[in-house]
Structure 1
Amino acid sequence: MAVVIASDIGKDVAGSPLMRGISFKLERRDRMTLSGRNGAGKTTLLRMIAGQASIDVGELSHQKGAKIALHDQRPPREQDLTLRDYVLSGAREIVAVEQELARLEQRMADGDYEESTLNAYARAQARLEHFGGYRWRDNAQSMLHGLGFRDDALDRELSTFSGGQLTRASLARALAGAPDLLLLDEPTNHLDIASLEWLEQYLISMDSAIVLVAHDRWFLESVGTAVLELEAGRSRFFAGPWHKWRQEQAARELALGRAIDKQQAEIERLEKFVERFRAKATKARQAQSRVKRLERIERIERDPRDQEGLSFQFARTERAGRVIFELDEGRIEVPGKVLLERAELWLERGEHVALVGPNGTGKTTLIDTLAGQRPLPAGKLRTGHNIRLGYLSQHAENLGETGSVLDACQRATRLTPNKARALLGRFLFSGEEAQKPLNGLSGGERQRLSLAILVNSGANVLILDEPTNHLDVESREALEDALEQFDGSLLLVSHDRALLDAVGSRTVAIEDGRLNSYEGGWADYLRVREERRAAELAARERAGGKKPKASSNGGSSNGGGGGGAKKNAAKAAAPAPAKPALSKNAQREAKKLEREIEKAETALTELEVELADPDAWADAGRSAANSERHAAARRAVEELYARYEAVAG
């Protein structure tokens, strides 16, 4: 059954149509992403679906009794509530069911066992179970943990939180009420990667219809099952994952370009014929026919805004020394707290390194220190020769608040007005946009201006802190292309996993207060991280006398603990006493293999305990070697079981 159906709905703004003909149908577990350039009406459409904005044309219908929750970028109004109370206030319906159950229980305690009372109690009990039962408050608290809040924050008033924390609180409130229809506007804002991963899995598990707007490509691909594309006031629905829609969109753009080229060639041919033969009496009739054909042609045109988009690249850089910088035994701290102790980090010429870690572990403080923005409290920081550093901070503080976009650009670049305007035009500050006052810029505009100044700097070393903040998908892709082609050195902090994977040649992770280095981008780091977690889990289970459960292929699905599962399977298939049907030679061989299996499994267990130590994964060389050791130990166990099964039958 559909949770929401939109039939040709439309919206007017200031008397003019903003959108028309918007149609879609969503059932439970459908997760539709909205795509469209800024100003296309994505946020407006979410509010129309939520009933917070009027629908001027068409019809929108919801499943009877459907509960709707909207999370958007507006801060909470109830600033005097604690975080806990604010989040639980999103579940008023659940609280009402609890109150109804309490009332009915009191009636039954007073002797009311009428069939209507019992039926009402059963219905209320079923509704509470639908919302997660009596543990729904615990579930709400788990949501807050998943979104990065600690227990000591739960009883603080909202007025004590930052804007980013309030945004996360609003998201938790929307999730807590277990809505039938969940509407999310930029839910990934202010989340670190761990919270993003938690949110992805939570949304996928929800028995709800979901409509969301986001610019995080990895998130869109992980969560979305369909795309509604808003373009030029109309919509186009695509059933399928986000990357398939992008492929289809690119194919449409290519086909449109070819159609325009073909039509233009036909128009030029007709115009040449008319121009050539209009004055000749013998060809006048044919020329007039061509004129009429020209008049009947419906011109295929692109939306002028399709030509808008970041388009830039970094110039070739001067060659720096082999070692850009090297941090040895460094301490990174903020007042009252040491974030990293005895930290080691290096960057070599031409390397593109991604720095990752949870919020609050010191990423920004570390790169501020490396960029010379704050002193190093302890340790040594050596820098190479011929280094020109370009630093992009997370909040673009270096721009200031006085003057215009053009003024800030000229101050930072020393370009003439004409050259500064040309540079700004590549970053979507054309014409009057270049005269916008700095104190009136949006977050995305400040980020684009900072990127423009950075591109012109001639830096051969870039240190970037969250460069995709406030950028749309197309701008993120343009930045990704430019960084991939950048021939200098790069140290990048970002929550955009698609950017980390595309650009990073090495990943440095802050783990348990240490810096660990891994070869490759985000996907490579993710693989190593999951292998390590599997090894740690298997080691803990073995130490506790438990065996990992066998997967469908008889081994561990994530690469850890396969030997124990196979041992259980072998015991079930072949009891320890030799079968009478086996020959004596076969019995001896089976017993020999059982002893070898026991030894191989003991070695595998000891290795997994060893690999549970973070030191085993402290650098790329150790990570690769230990991954191979673990794989070889597992293969040895599997090969022995294969031989055992061949002998024992």
Structure 2
Amino acid sequence: MYLLKMNEVSMEVDGKPLFQNVSIEVKENERVALIGENGTGKTTLIKGILGIESINNGQISCKVENYQIGYILQESDIDVQLPLKDWVMHDHPNYFHKVDLEAYTEQMQYSSHPIVIEKYNESLKKYLGLDGYQWEIKVEKLLHQIGLYPETWAIPFSKLSGGQKTKAKLTKMMLLNPKLIILDEPTNHLDLQTTEWLGHWLLNYKGTVLFISHERSFIDQIATSTYELTDNGTKRYSGGYSSFKKQKELELKTQTLQYEKQEQERKKLSQAIQQYKQWYVKASSKASVRDPYAQKKTTKHVKKYKAKEKALERLKENEITKPAENPTIKADITPGDFFAKDLIRLENVSKSYEKYLVIQDVNLHLERGDRLAVIGENGSGKTTLLKLMIGLIKPNIGEVKHHPQIKIGHFSQELQNINTTNTILDEIMEIPRMKQSDARNILASFLFRKEDVFKQISDLSMGEKCRIAFVKLYFSNANLLVLDEPTNYFDIPSREIIEEALVQYPGSIVMVTHDPYLLRKISNKVVSLKNKQANLYLGSYQEWEEHKMLSPKQQQLKNELERLELKYSELLASELDDDSLLNEIQSVKERIGFIQDKLNN
């Protein structure tokens, strides 16, 4: 049974069509992802469902009462002075009984009047009947689980960080236990750990979910089906983002084959039409009243010519459009010559802000070719570590050493330095030795096509400005890119272009991001910040994910396996050829097999 159904819906913004032919069906207990490029109208569509904005055409049917719908919108930041904990509880029916009970409790401290005592007892009885104290425990437990600890509970909601506000909104919604949840970018400002926790909560939630997200790992974790929104409507795909991607690739392959077959048929028909025309002209010149055979031949050519023309018309009526090519980076990136092994060293580094210690006794060595992922919860010191590494701030204790030839490109600085009075093309042309033809090709690779390049930067969205900043950074001749949340504000196509660019980049990279897809694709080392300490893992983010899931005993076996595999390679490469060596090789091989079996089982 469906809970939410949309049929042939269209919407406009300021009189301009945004999308049309949108049909979506969300069944009970489904978790449906809504994806699409920035600007296609995903948030507007959600507002149409909620009745916040009007639809122009079509029908929306919802079998859930308004009070049973829990939702979070991107722009719903409210400037309120209520403390965090009170704001979270405020919309729950129990909250008003709690406030009443607290008021009578306070009166009891100053008065023992029978009416006051009676009112207090009535209020207490009602609150106990509602399991009010159990509800308060549930609130505090949920706040802890989502990462909002007691020291934040008295902070006014308006004073919270972006991540804290998102967590507060999620907690508030969860407490209401809605039947249908609608979320617009719920992972914005959340760290990896909280995003993962939210995913587990939604998987265990006994209800229906419709959500917008650009976080591909989150979509894979949550979605049972995915709708893609374009200006021409929606299409449903089974599963999460990885499944959607495979189905889209198959569609593209099928459409390409159909297009090629169509073009072959078009060419064949055009040639046949031309041939029959020539034969008709030739035959008609010979035909006369006295030559019935030539007349018959001419008529025959005309019929064939007309039949082929009709076949060509039918082909045009059912024309298959040429599939759009996926954009690829078409440029050679060559950072300045840099052959040294060491780029940056942090030795016994500690950093405090006033009396608050952020990181302590960090020792870190960045080498040429490193692609370092810096991970940790919000507030763990990731941005501070990046600023220390590139010299934007100084440590209180310890030393940061740079190779004299290092050239650092910093994403945040590049974004701040964009000249908003320029057009996109003018801004890119400021890159040294940049030709206009190269600039146009590069911009097309980063999804700025045709007349888009003449748009003024001041008129662009934040996501578009970030793309321009990335292009300038990418071609800045830097041999080290430092990226702090580079994919914020990016839709999925933009993220995939950035990923491709970073895979091709020949220099070193240090990056902070909450996008697991990007981390898995780019990193070859991981620094995990926890309890003011920096722990280095010599492996990719995907390997680190597997590593953190191992028990101490499993990790011990894995470490032994890596040592034995290295020893096995060295023994095989040995030039000695005697029985003792062969016996040792056999012994090591058997031990490797034994450990692999234990790990697999």
Specify the TM-score bucket, using the shorter chain as the normaliser. Answer: 0.7 to 0.9
The match for 2:63 is 62
* 1:182 aligned onto 2:175: no
Deviation at 1:444, TM superposition (A): 0.7
The 10-residue stretch of structure 1 (180-189 or 217-226) with the greater mean CA deviation from structure 2 = 217-226
* 1:287 aligned onto 2:305: yes
Deviation at 1:68, TM superposition (A): 0.4
CA contact (8 A) 1:404 1:435 kept: yes
- Runs of 4+ in structure 1 over 6 Å off: 96-100, 620-626
Tell me, in whole angstroms, the C-alpha distance in 2 between the residues paired with 1:440 and 1:40.
17
Tell me, in whole angstroms, the C-alpha distance in 2 between the residues paired with 1:74 and 1:309.
31
The match for 1:86 is 87
Quick one: which of 473, 479, 484 aligns to 1:465?
A: 484
Q: What is the SS of the residue equivalent to 1:60? A: strand
Quick one: which of 354, 373, 379 aligns to 1:360?
A: 379
Residues 194-253 of structure 1: CA deviation (Å, up to 9, x unaligned): 211111111111112001111111111111111122234222223334322221121111
CA contact (8 A) 1:355 1:507 kept: yes
Deviation at 1:314, TM superposition (A): 5.9
Tell me, in whole angstroms, the C-alpha distance in 1 between the residues paired with 2:331 and 2:33.
30
Aligned 1:292-307 pairs, distance under 5 A:
292-297=310-315, 298-302=317-321, 306=324
CA contact (8 A) 2:22 2:234 kept: yes
Aligned 1:309-324 pairs, distance under 5 A:
311=329, 315-317=333-335, 318-324=337-343
Question: What is the letter of the counterpart of residue 409 of structure 2?
Answer: G
* 1:40 aligned onto 2:58: no
CA contact (8 A) 1:505 1:520 kept: yes
Deviation at 1:365, TM superposition (A): 1.6
Tell me, in whole angstroms, the C-alpha distance in 2 between the residues paired with 1:347 and 1:242.
34
Residues 498-550 of structure 1: CA deviation (Å, up to 9, x unaligned): 1111211111111222211113222321222233xx55xxxxxxxxxxxxxxx
Question: What is the letter of the counterpart of residue 358 of structure 2?
Answer: L
Tell me, in whole angstroms, the C-alpha distance in 2 between the residues paired with 1:95 and 1:301.
60
Question: What is the letter of the counterpart of residue 6 of structure 1?
Answer: K
Residues 580-626 of structure 1: CA deviation (Å, up to 9, x unaligned): xxxxxxxxxxxxxxxxxxxxxxxxxxxxxxx9xxxx9xxx9799779
* 1:427 aligned onto 2:427: no
CA contact (8 A) 1:413 1:453 kept: no
Question: What is the letter of the counterpart of residue 501 of structure 2?
Answer: A
CA contact (8 A) 1:7 1:23 kept: yes
CA contact (8 A) 1:83 1:156 kept: yes
Structure 2 gaps of 5+ residues are: 101-117, 119-125, 281-297, 565-590
Deviation at 1:25, TM superposition (A): 3.1
The match for 1:510 is 529
What count of residue pairs does the alignment treat as equivalent? 522
CA contact (8 A) 2:330 2:442 kept: no
The match for 1:25 is 26
Deviation at 1:395, TM superposition (A): 8.7
Structure 1 gaps of 5+ residues are: 101-109, 111-120, 536-558, 561-610, 627-631, 640-649
Tell me, in whole angstroms, the C-alpha distance in 2 between the residues paired with 1:41 and 1:437.
22
Distance change in 2, residues 1:625/1:288 (3 Å) = same
The match for 1:608 is none
Tell me, in whole angstroms, the C-alpha distance in 1 between the residues paired with 2:245 and 2:139.
35
Tell me, in whole angstroms, the C-alpha distance in 1 between the residues paired with 2:398 and 2:449.
47
Question: What is the letter of the counterpart of residue 309 of structure 2?
Answer: V
Pairwise CA RMSD of aligned residues? Answer: 3.7
The match for 1:136 is 135
Residues 341-379 of structure 1: CA deviation (Å, up to 9, x unaligned): 221111222222211111222211211222232334432
Distance change in 2, residues 1:187/1:454 (3 Å) = same
Deviation at 1:299, TM superposition (A): 4.4
The 10-residue stretch of structure 1 (506-515 or 134-143) with the greater mean CA deviation from structure 2 = 134-143
The match for 2:50 is 50
Tell me, in whole angstroms, the C-alpha distance in 1 between the residues paired with 2:332 and 2:143.
41
Aligned 1:64-463 pairs, distance under 5 A:
67-91=68-92, 135-281=134-280, 282=298, 283-297=301-315, 298-302=317-321, 306=324, 311=329, 315-317=333-335, 318-384=337-403, 386-393=405-412, 396-399=415-418, 401-413=420-432, 415=434, 419-463=438-482
Q: What is the SS of the residue equivalent to 2:392? A: coil
The 10-residue stretch of structure 1 (334-343 or 392-401) with the greater mean CA deviation from structure 2 = 392-401
Tell me, in whole angstroms, the C-alpha distance in 2 between the residues paired with 1:99 and 1:9.
47
The 10-residue stretch of structure 1 (390-399 or 250-259) with the greater mean CA deviation from structure 2 = 390-399
Question: What is the letter of the counterpart of residue 181 of structure 2?
Answer: L
Question: What is the letter of the counterpart of residue 47 of structure 1?
Answer: K
Question: What is the letter of the counterpart of residue 201 of structure 2?
Answer: Y
Tell me, in whole angstroms, the C-alpha distance in 2 between the residues paired with 1:395 and 1:137.
47
Q: What is the SS of the residue equivalent to 2:278? A: coil
Tell me, in whole angstroms, the C-alpha distance in 2 between the residues paired with 1:332 and 1:404.
41
Deviation at 1:319, TM superposition (A): 4.1
Question: What is the letter of the counterpart of residue 62 of structure 1?
Answer: K
CA contact (8 A) 1:8 1:59 kept: yes
The match for 1:117 is none
Tell me, in whole angstroms, the C-alpha distance in 1 between the residues paired with 2:559 and 2:483.
26
Residues 123-154 of structure 1: CA deviation (Å, up to 9, x unaligned): x98xx79xxx8533433344444444332222
Tell me, in whole angstroms, the C-alpha distance in 1 between the residues paired with 2:43 and 2:266.
40
Aligned 1:597-636 pairs, distance under 5 A:
none
The match for 2:517 is 498
Question: What is the letter of the counterpart of residue 81 of structure 1?
Answer: L
Distance change in 2, residues 1:323/1:230 (3 Å) = same
Distance change in 2, residues 1:209/1:61 (3 Å) = same
Distance change in 2, residues 1:382/1:266 (3 Å) = same
The match for 1:5 is 4
The match for 2:572 is none
Distance change in 2, residues 1:387/1:78 (3 Å) = closer
Tell me, in whole angstroms, the C-alpha distance in 2 between the residues paired with 1:160 and 1:99.
23
CA contact (8 A) 1:84 1:154 kept: yes
CA contact (8 A) 1:404 1:436 kept: yes
CA contact (8 A) 2:429 2:436 kept: yes
Question: What is the letter of the counterpart of residue 215 of structure 1?
Answer: H
Distance change in 2, residues 1:385/1:278 (3 Å) = farther
The match for 2:113 is none
Tell me, in whole angstroms, the C-alpha distance in 2 between the residues paired with 1:466 and 1:378.
27
Distance change in 2, residues 1:429/1:417 (3 Å) = same
Compare relative contact order (CA 8 Å, sep 6+) and give the higher one, 1 or 2.
2
Tell me, in whole angstroms, the C-alpha distance in 2 between the residues paired with 1:460 and 1:372.
16
The 10-residue stretch of structure 1 (270-279 or 193-202) with the greater mean CA deviation from structure 2 = 270-279
Tell me, in whole angstroms, the C-alpha distance in 1 between the residues paired with 2:399 and 2:356.
20
Tell me, in whole angstroms, the C-alpha distance in 1 between the residues paired with 2:457 and 2:145.
36
Q: What is the SS of the residue equivalent to 1:280? A: helix
Deviation at 1:259, TM superposition (A): 1.0
Q: What is the SS of the residue equivalent to 2:312? A: helix
Tell me, in whole angstroms, the C-alpha distance in 2 between the residues paired with 1:80 and 1:303.
56
Tell me, in whole angstroms, the C-alpha distance in 1 between the residues paired with 2:524 and 2:214.
23
Distance change in 2, residues 1:387/1:275 (3 Å) = farther
Tell me, in whole angstroms, the C-alpha distance in 1 between the residues paired with 2:321 and 2:313.
19
Tell me, in whole angstroms, the C-alpha distance in 2 between the residues paired with 1:262 and 1:378.
69
CA contact (8 A) 2:33 2:210 kept: yes
Deviation at 1:176, TM superposition (A): 2.7
Deviation at 1:269, TM superposition (A): 1.6
Deviation at 1:389, TM superposition (A): 2.4
Tell me, in whole angstroms, the C-alpha distance in 2 between the residues paired with 1:327 and 1:65.
55
CA contact (8 A) 1:333 1:365 kept: no
Tell me, in whole angstroms, the C-alpha distance in 2 between the residues paired with 1:623 and 1:355.
27
Distance change in 2, residues 1:412/1:164 (3 Å) = farther
Question: What is the letter of the counterpart of residue 507 of structure 2?
Answer: G
Residues 66-122 of structure 1: CA deviation (Å, up to 9, x unaligned): 60011111133342333223222343x56589999xxxxxxxxx9xxxxxxxxxx9x
Deviation at 1:421, TM superposition (A): 4.2
